Every structure is written in C-alpha cells, then in structure tokens.
Amino acid sequence: MRLLTISFNPHEKKYLAIAASIRESILSGQLKPQDRLPASRDLANQLNVNRHTIMAACDELVAQGYLESLPRIGYQVVSVLPVEGCDLNESTETQQFNLSHLFKSPTASLSSADFNVRFNFAGGLPDITQFSMKVFKSHLNTALKQLDLGSLHYQGTLGNAKLREQIKKYLIRARGLSSGEILITNGSQEALFIVAQAVLQNGDNVAVEQLSYPPACAALSSNGANLITIEQDEFGIKPDSLKRVLAHSKINTPLHQYPTTVTLSPQRRSQIYQLAQLHDFLILEDDYDHEFHYRCSPLVPMAANDPDGRVIYISTFSKIMFAGARLGYVSAHPQVIEYLANSKKIINHKTECVLQQAVANWMSEGDFERHLRKMTQLYLARRDHLVQLLAEYKQAGFPINYAIPDGGMAIWLGCKRDLTGFTALAQSQGIFVQCQQDFNDDYIDFDHQGYQYVRLGFASMNDEMRREALSALMTLLFPAITR
C-alpha cells in the first residue's frame, strides 16, 4: 500500500478523512481485493494520529463494505467490492443507467411546463401575490397548537374530519351538493389517479372530449384505459356523439369539460346522465375552477342531481390558494368513497395533518370565502381587461375570435391560422401559452382547418404585464400584421 498523505480539514473528523483516502486507494485500484492493510499501529505512526483513530477509520470502511476484519490478521480489502467500485475501467457513457427493459412502456407522457418565462398565460395559474399569507399563517399556528398526538400516527385515510365537514358545508352552500362523502387527496391529479385505479380494468373504454385535460388522460390511460374521443362543438360535448359511441362500445367513465371554457348546458348534462343510467357507467366530473364565476351563480354540477350516485366529483384548492398546497378532494356517494379510500391506502394511507387542520380553520373562520370573494372580483376585472385588449386587436384587423367566458381563469382564443408547433416557438421567445394541439394531438378543429386556438390565462398577471404579454404574443402569432 502506498504511503497515505492526508491534509486534515479542521472541520472534518480525522478518521473520516483517513477512511476516504483508503477508499480512494481501493477504488483507484492501488489496493486490490484481498490486499491486507498495514498494521493499525504502523498507519497511526505514518499519519501521526492515535491508533484508535486508524481503527475507527477501518471500522467505517468495514461498515461501508470495503474492508473486512479478520482475527489475528487485521484488515484487508474485501473480495467483492460494493457496486460503486465495480467496472472501474468502463467509460462514463457505459456506466449510465440503461434499465428501460425493466419498465413497462408508458401509455401516456406529460411534458413539464417551464414557468421560468417572461410572460405566463397558463390557464389555471392564480395570482399568489394576492394570497394573504399573514392570515393563513395564523391558522397554521393555531393548527399546530390544536394537534393531538393521535393525529400524528398512521390513520385517517379520508382526511382531516374538520376539513371534510367544512368542505361538505361549502359544497352544500355553493354547489348544491348535499349527499356525498368527502375524501381528501394530494391535489386533483392524485384524485384522478385514485379513481382510475379503483374503477378501471385493463382495456376498459373511457369517453373523453376531443379536447381534454392531458394529466387526466394520462391518469386514465396509465391505468389501462382505452380512450375514446367524443365530438365537441361550440356548446361543449355532444350527447349524440356519445350515444353513437355507446351503440357499439361499453363505456366506463366520461370526463368533464376542458379546456375550451364552455359551460355545458343543463339539457346536455341531463342527456349525458340519462345515457349513464341506460348504459350503466360512471361520470367523472372535474370541477376545476367553478369558484370564479362572474355573470351569475354558476350552474350546479352534475353531482348535485345524481339520484343513482354515479357521479364522482373532483375539485381542488390549488386555484384558490396555490398549487404547492397539494390539496384536493373527491365528493361522491359514501359507498363510492369507501372504494376510493381503499385504493388510496395503496398509494398513501395517511394524509397530511397540519395543513389540512389549518385550511379547516381558515374555512370555519370565514377567511376562505372572504378571500374567494376578493379574488373573484379581481379576476373579473382582469378578464374584462383582457377582453378589452382583444377587442382592440380585433378592431385593428387581427384575425381573432373568442367568446367571453362566464367564469374561470382563461379565454379560448381562435387565431384563424394553423398553430401546430406554436407552443415551443412561443416558449423559445419567453412566452408560456398552451395551444389547441396541447390538449389533443388527434383532434381536428371545428372548421377542419387544423389547430387554431390558444388558451389565454388572465388571472396571474396584472394589467400592465398582461398588456405587454399580449403585445408580444400577437407579434409572434401575426408577424405580418403591424398594429
């Protein structure tokens, strides 16, 4: 063994520095398997340290699997090195992971949105600068004081009892939902996955709109679903299209409307529910931004008129609070919730306790609805500002068309040009915007002229930034037009 020369760091324990140096000698091949180390006394003299320091270093390497201690012999290098010491002469490239053969091929993939851009038109992005952290911190502090030891153990798959009760009261008051049980989840995406896992068998048919929510489709297809698209028009999903599909296919679950901002009429909802009764399937209703409604009270969800208990209602706090809260919920018939809770136990049989208690307090004290009223007024003003800007562009000759949504956080903008690949182009220019193609690669536009729509979120930007962002977007969309 070569002489060890170690410059000891005053902030590092000596035995760890010695262990690291011996390990490096092993990994570099200077010490071979089954090579014996010098006696601990000799090493101690060489390094001018205590013999016990050498023994501690060697014991550390024994624990790590590089050395073994033999009676009357001392320490020697093991015959088979740990994994990181194997194939030392291979190139860096051959040491890269190549384990794809051990995984099943993904049935769906999702691109990660890069929000590190100058202008962000994400449709479901709230303005978190308007969230009163000071108020919410007080509820967090209260929650910490209220916690009992029992709540810190593995229990409570359904979620915090007080929060579930507050959500029930809110859904009765705001959405007309009165008969469901509540299951708390880590956001709506986990809820979608749990439902898919609990309901679907491999190869089951699921009806989705031609334009759909990609994460929902990914959750369904990854659980074995065969997605069947249902036609849409300017009023939303077409019941006649669903009826034609049902004539030759057994359907398990159709999804709710996204991303066109169209509100499905009561008549169409009733037609879809009657089809669900006739053909015996469930309805998955993802009510992603019902809180922000501007013209009148929002239409009650399908789950509010559900005599058979076949509607599974999903919602989230992400757009009211912030996405990092990871707080969503499912409301459904108690028997359905029992099935979903059993599926949830496979993923996570204990839910977070502090945040849930804090949100329960936030709701019970009235701060939740005060914040909701404030944000509804703010987002209404921001929607109207975007509509005003779009009207100015339209008057200036820009070939755009849009409907003013009654609620939500985005506008579905038609551009009368093919926007295939525009998302990547916009992002390269510092603009995040989602185009029609991002919601269904197989979808053909209503007028059969390709992908022509973009989804413009208006909630997260103030008026000055929105004006600047829209100017940059319009310049990119219509470079030949000068305003």
Cα–Cα dist 260/221, whole Å: 22
Question: Which range is least confidently modeled, 36-45, 86-95, 113-122, 276-285?
Answer: 86-95
pLDDT tens digits for range 2-18: 567 777 888 889 999 99
Residues 53 and 82: their CA atoms lie apart, in Å, by 24
Written as one letter, the residue type at 48 is: N
Domain 370-477 falls in which CATH fold?
A: Aspartate Aminotransferase, domain 1 (3.90.1150)
* Cis, peptide link before residue 33, omega less than 30° from 0: no
191-220 pLDDT tens trace:
999 999 999 999 999 998 887 888 888 889
- The CA dihedral of 267, 273, 277, 278, to the nearest 10 degrees, is 50
The Cα–Cα gap between 310 and 307 comes to 8
Quickly list H helices, 68-213.
Answer: 133-146, 161-175, 188-199
Q: Give the C-alpha separation, 478 to 85, whole Å.
A: 58
DSSP output for 262-331: PPPPHHHHHHHHHHHHHHT--EEEE--STT-B-SSSPPPPGGGS-TTS-EEEEEESTTTS-GGG--EEEE
293-304, pLDDT tens digit by residue? 787 676 788 898
Q: What is the pTM of this model?
A: 0.79
Q: What is the mean pLDDT of the chain?
A: 86
134-363 belongs to CATH 3.40.50.300: no
Domain-wise residue ranges, the chain = 1-103, 134-363, 370-477
Locate all alpha helices (DSSP H) within 65-209, ordered by sequence.
133-146, 161-175, 188-199
Which of the four CATH numbers 1.10.3720.10, 1.10.10.10, 3.90.1570.10, 3.50.50.60 does domain 1-103 have? 1.10.10.10
Sign of CA dihedral 250, 256, 259, 263: positive
